[in-house]
Each structure stands twice: as structure tokens, then as C-alpha cells.
Structure 1
């Protein structure tokens, strides 16, 4: 393994570690007896501290990845290859055929500790994804293209605010744990576990009147098994 390959793998592992830690948080929370007041109180205290630590980890990890990538000019293992409505039909169909060689999954499944490879929805297909954050970013880009200016409704809709009033979509990422610009002047919170991202995509598709059952996910482990 040469130096570039080693750097690329390390960058990918940083991304995987962040997602696994978020999935672990979900695991621990689901394992708590919510009918036991003492256990629930301890669980809430744990989640608060864990969320604070994960917010800091996400920021530090992002800075480390950016610093390494900028200096070495090396990126994480794979680059996603999208085919959307602006692509020619031959390219779109080629990606679909490649994805269809593996088992397909829908958004009603548990994705904890699993790695994505790609997804298909309507005239959009993406392969070579590594993380659920990448799935979410591409899904947001897809909906921005489909909805145009109408997508900005998510910045004021009640469906996309947390119980504390924090916005999942906003015109700035300053108040987000890990805000990513998905279109000029529009940021999305990305610091979510695999199942949280699954739920966010379902909410977005439902909000814009799409059948989320048609959003098909392909996993890396299925492809590796083949």
C-alpha cells in the first residue's frame, strides 16, 4: 500500500468512526428501559453529555479531514458517481444496472452499522457512496434540483425543526452541529446517525409529495458479498 492509499483509507475510517459512534448512541438509547424512571433519567443525562461530545468530535474530525485532504491532495476511498435527469439515458441506465446486481433495500429498514453504496429514486441514481452523510447530501441535492426554489420551504416548515426549535435547514450553518451547504445560501444539518438520516429522507420525500417507498438503497456489504 502506498502513501496515497494509506491516507485515503485513514480519511474513510474517520468518517466511518463518526457514523458508528452515532449509531452506538442510538443502540444505547434503545436499550434503556424507558418505563424505569431511574434508568431513563440516567439515559437522558448520558445522551446529553454524549451529544455534546459527538458535536465536538464531528467538528474536530471534519477539520482533520479537511486539513489532510488539502495538504496531501488525497480524498477518502471512493468518489460518488451521480446520474441525474441532466445526464444521458445511457449513463443513467448503466448505473442502475450496476446497482441492481446487488440486493435492494427500502427506507423502512434498520441501517445501524451498515455501509451504503448507492441509491436510486426517479431519474436519479448514485453509486460509490461511503457514508450515510453522503447519501443524505446527494438526496438533498437531488431534491433541490427537482424542487428548485420551492425547496427553501424546508427552512420554515415545522417538520424540520427540533423539539428545541433548532432548524435542520437554514440559510447559515452557524447554529448547526455539522452544517453543510447543499445549495447557495442553504445549509443542512448532517450530524445524524444512519437511522436518523433514513428518517430525514423519508420526511423530505413526504413533505414534497413523493412516495418514499420508491427510494431504493443499496448497501456496500451486499455488493462485497457478491
Structure 2
């Protein structure tokens, strides 16, 4: 037996890797929940909350780095890849039509919904589909890549777009990955901040649709829980 497969089956290894990604994204969602629950009218409670969030985010950054390293190490050793079951229709019209047909059997979700503690499965953006996705970060990456193909200059211009620069000067898109908490390489020399919860990514996608003048109903998300429920209901 292959030593790399002797401790668990490939399916089990994949499930553990997916669970690790889910924990990372749920911890980001939890930070949103805690921040929203802090009483801004109570100065003492607000100060305590800010201190907690500062420490929490430091621990989260360390955990995220460790989880990334563990995931990469396991995937390399076992040859079990998180993206192995992904399908996109970017370069093949027939594959795209099949992916969209399969996704349309499930319930679509819009950029106006709450995705806290929910996991993605697929997306359709402007008639281009992708399925087999496991993380919201991957959803964000595919959206950025599709928009890059659609209008490279417009996406690159977001580096200096005021809507993508926070009041503290934090850039959502940049040529320098160093200041980012978690840099997502969109293309060589262009990076996006991806240390975002599911709803944070939803908000960024909504902003991108606005900048690219794409109607919101052209963006559909599909959730794993809907897919799995459909499989259970099948005889």
C-alpha cells in the first residue's frame, strides 16, 4: 500500500482538508458576529471589545498561517487536492452549459443574502459557471479571474479606486502583497485581500459588480447544504 494513503482513505483526507477550510472561514464569520455584538454606546464595553478583537485577529492570523501550511503539506504528501473536483466552463462552451444545467437544479442565492456559516459549492457569473468549490476564498478568486478576463484594465485600476481603499488606507487590491493579511494573487503583480468572511467576500463581490456595471442578478451562488439536501432527497 502507498505509504501516503495508509492512514486514511483519499475521501476521508479530502473531508478533513475541507473541514479545516470550514473552520478557518467560520472563525472569520465569528469575528464578524462578535464585532457586531459590541455595544458602541458603552465605552468600557467598547474598549474591552476592541482589545478582544485585536487579540483575536492576531491569533487568527497565526492560526490561518499554520492551517495553510498544514493543508499544503497534507495535499502534497497525499496527492489529495482540494481543487480536484472543481469544474469551470471558462474555456469550453459544452462544459459550461453542462455545469450551468446541473447548478440550475439547485436553489440560487444572490449577493444580498447572509452567508454566515454557510459553505459554497458553485457560482454562475454572467453565464459562466463553476462547481465543486470548497471555500469562499476560491469563489472570490474565480470572480476576480473572470472579471480580469472581462476587463483587465478596469480590475487593475482598483488599486487606486477610492471604494477599495479603507479610511485607514488599507487597499483591497494592491501591487504589493506585504501589507495584506492574506494575499490572493489575481495575476502577476496584482493581489487582493482575501482575509474575509463569507459576508465580507459577498460585499466585495457586490462592489465589483457595481464597478464593472454588471447587474446583481448576473451573480448567483450555490451552497453545499442545498446540494447535499438534494442528494439526500433522491431515491
Q: Same fold (TM over 0.5)?
A: yes
- TM (norm. structure 1) is 0.92
Give the one of 43, 62, 73 matched to 1:56: 62
Give the one of 158, 173, 176 matched to 2:177: 173
Give the one of 18, 26, 29 matched to 1:23: 29
Q: Structure 2: any 5+ residue segments left out of the alignment?
A: 1-6, 231-235
Aligned partners of 1:8 and 1:76 also within 8 Å: yes
Aligned partners of 2:110 and 2:219 also within 8 Å: yes
Aligned residue-pair number: 224
* Residue in structure 2 matched with residue 8 of structure 1 by the alignment: 14
Aligned partners of 1:12 and 1:77 also within 8 Å: no
Using the TM superposition, give the Cα deviation of residue 2 of structure 1 relative to its aligned residue in structure 2, in angstroms. Answer: 4.1
- TM (norm. structure 2) is 0.89
Measured against aligned partners, the alpha-carbon deviations of 1:86-142 in whole angstroms (never above 9, x if no partner) come to 422x32221111111111110111100001111111131111111111111111111
* Residue in structure 1 matched with residue 4 of structure 2 by the alignment: none
* Residue in structure 1 matched with residue 92 of structure 2 by the alignment: 87
* Residue in structure 1 matched with residue 104 of structure 2 by the alignment: 100
SS in 2 for 1:104: coil
- For the residues of structure 1 that align with 2:136 and 2:128, how far apart are their CA atoms? 17
Tell me, yes or no, if structure 1 residue 139 matches structure 2 residue 143.
yes
SS in 2 for 1:105: coil
1:77/1:136 CA distance change after superposition, 3 Å = closer
- For the residues of structure 1 that align with 2:114 and 2:101, how far apart are their CA atoms? 25
Using the TM superposition, give the Cα deviation of residue 74 of structure 1 relative to its aligned residue in structure 2, in angstroms. Answer: 1.7
- For the residues of structure 2 that align with 1:158 and 1:49, how far apart are their CA atoms? 29
Runs of 4+ in 1 over 6 A off after TM superposition: none
Q: Structure 1: any 5+ residue segments left out of the alignment?
A: none
Structure possessing the higher radius of gyration over alpha carbons:
2
SS in 1 for 2:158: helix
Using the TM superposition, give the Cα deviation of residue 219 of structure 1 relative to its aligned residue in structure 2, in angstroms. Answer: 0.8
